Structure 1
Amino acid sequence: MTEISTRVAIVTGGSGGIGRAVAERLASDGLAVVVHYSGNQAKAQATVEAITAAGGRASAFGGDVADPEAMAALFQHATDTFGGVDVIAHTAGIMPLAPIAEMDLDTFDRIQRTNVRGTFIISQLAARQVRSGGAVITFSTSVTRLQMPTYGAYAASKGAVEAMTLILARELRGRDITVNTVAPGPTATPLFFEGKSEQVVNHIASLNPMERLGTPADIAEVTAFLAGPGRWVNGQVLYTNGGAA
C-alpha cells in the first residue's frame, strides 16, 4: 500500500498510443497509475514496466469499458492497490470509419457501445468515487468541428461524450472536482495510420498551421495540466490540434 497522500489515476486504454503516453506522463508527476486495457494485457504490462523502471508506481487491470461490473472492479482495484481514485483519464475508444451511407448498423452500435456507454459508465463511477481535489478527463475528437467524411458515426459518439462531460461538470458542483474533455486532432498513433496512404497522412498533417501531426506526448501534456495545475479549467472542451480548427 502507498501513503494516503498519494494521488491515484486510472487511465483507460492505457496500453498504447495516447493512453500509454498519458499513463507515463501522469506517473512522471508522481501519481500512482492503474493502466486499464481491453484486450492486450502484454502491452498494458509493458506500460507498467516502463513506469516502474522510471521510478513510478503502476498496476495493470483489464476489462470492457462498457461492462459496469468490470469497470466497478477496475475502480475497486485502484482503491485496493493504491488507496483511492483522484484522476480519471478515459482515453479508451474505437474508431471504425465508413461513409454514413455504407456503414453497417452493427458497427455503428459497437462504436456507440464502447464510446458512449463506456464513457457514461466511467463517468458514473467517477462521480461516485473520485476524491475531492480530483479531475475527470474524457476524450473527444476535433473531428466534431472538422466534419471529415467517413467519421460520421465516430464523431456522433464523441459529440455525446462532450455533452455528458460538460453536464457532469455542473452536476459535481461543490465537490472540488474538475471535469473536462480533451479533443485531439490527428495524432500519430497506430490507430491513426491504419489504412491511410502516405499521401493522405501528409495531407492531413498539412491542415493545421503547425504543419504536422500531433504526438501522443502533445496530448499527454494537456491531460497532465488538467489532472494537476489546471484547477480553474472546468466544464470545457480543449481542442488539442495545433490550430486545425
Structure 2
Amino acid sequence: MMQPLVAILDDEPEIRRMLAQALCDAGFRTATYARAAEFEAALKRSAPDVCLVDLGLPDRDGLALVHRLALESGATIIIISGRAQVQDRVTGLELGADDYIIKPFDPAEVVARIRARLRRGRNAVGAAPDTARFNGWTAHFERYLLVSDAGAEVAFSHAEGEVLRLFLDSPKRLITRAQMQESLGGMAGESFDRAMDVRISRLRTKLGEDPRNPRLIKTIYGAGYIFLGDVVWG
C-alpha cells in the first residue's frame, strides 16, 4: 500500500528540510514548496493526504489558502505558524484547519499529530459507509458534499465533515464537549470550544436550520449537543 503523501508549504528552507526528513524517516512520502503558487499548481496534479501550511507566506495569505483547502480538498490540514495568540489559533480552526502547531516545534510532535489524524480518519471510514441519508439530505463523505432531496448541492469542509459524522454516528444521543474533544482531538480548552461552535453553526446554516430554533442539531446548554435526525447509512 502506498504511504500517505504529506505536502509541506513553508518559505523557510530549514523548516522544510527538517520536516521532510522527520516524515521520510517515519515512512511518509513528502513534497515541499516554498511558495503558495507552486503548491497550488501541484494540487492540480496530485492530491496529498496531509497539508502542512505556514501562515506567513510571501505570495499568499495563509489563512485564505487554508480556507480554500478546507472547502475544496479532502486532505487533513495542519497549520504550522509562529503566531501563538489564541485568536490566531481559533481563526485557523474556524476556517477549516484540523490542527494548529506553533513554532518552534519538535518534528516528532508533528509526526505524532499527523499519525493521530490519519488514524482517526481510517477509523471513521472503517466504522461506517461513506454515505448517510437523513431528513431530506444525503451526506457524501468521500466527496465532502451534502445533496438535498431536491438536488441542491452544498459542500462541506473536512473539519465540518468530522463533526457531522460524529453526530450521524450517534443520533438522538447527547454528545458532550469532552466526548467531542476525545473523538476529534486538536486544540483543547477555549480554542476547541469556540472552533466547535463555529463548525456547528456552519453545519446548521448549510442544512438550512433556523439558528434560533434548530431542528436537527440541538444545543443542550452546559452539557453538549444532540442530533435529532433519523439516519440511514449506506
TM score, norm. by length of structure 2: 0.43
- Larger strand proportion, structure 1 or 2? 2
TM score, norm. by length of structure 1: 0.42
